[in-house]
């Protein structure tokens, strides 16, 4: 099994999960928080990653990572995500 580097904390781990076991609870909470935000707010389609991060408290890097996952395909139109570049 290959080592992976956790995108949240930088630790190395071996698992089929997207993050290390230590970060999994926070990962699930942030995913749900972002889905809830999209479900409860109109106009998010016009926001960039920085704005979504500001309103949700989720880091821009994690917002970008979540937005390219299949879990969020229902929230995106074909031309989105608009600005997933982190500067």
- Report the pLDDT value the prediction gives residue 78, as an integer from 0 to 100: 52
Residue 9 in any domain: the answer is: no
Q: Is the pLDDT confidence value at 87 over 70?
A: no
- Report the pLDDT value the prediction gives residue 80, as an integer from 0 to 100: 47
Residue 16 in any domain: the answer is: no
- Report the pLDDT value the prediction gives residue 2, as an integer from 0 to 100: 83
What's the mean pLDDT in 9-13?
A: 95
The model carries a pTM of 0.79
Q: Is the pLDDT confidence value at 82 over 80?
A: no
Chain centroid to Cα 61, Å, comes to 7
Residue 61 in any domain: the answer is: yes
Q: For the segment 56-71, what is each residue's pLDDT rounded down to a tens digit?
A: 999 999 999 999 988 8
Domain that holds residue 85: 24-87
How many folded domains does the chain comprise? 1
């Amino acid at each position: 099994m290959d080592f992976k580097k956790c995108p949240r904390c930088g630790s190395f781990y071996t698992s089929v999960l997207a993050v290390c076991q230590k970060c999994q609870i926070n990962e699930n909470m942030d995913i749900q928080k972002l889905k809830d935000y999209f479900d409860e707010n109109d106009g998010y389609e016009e926001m960039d990653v920085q704005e979504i991060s500001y309103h949700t408290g989720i880091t821009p890097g994690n917002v970008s990572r979540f937005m390219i996952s299949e879990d969020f395909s229902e929230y995106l139109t074909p031309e989105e995500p608009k600005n997933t570049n982190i500067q």
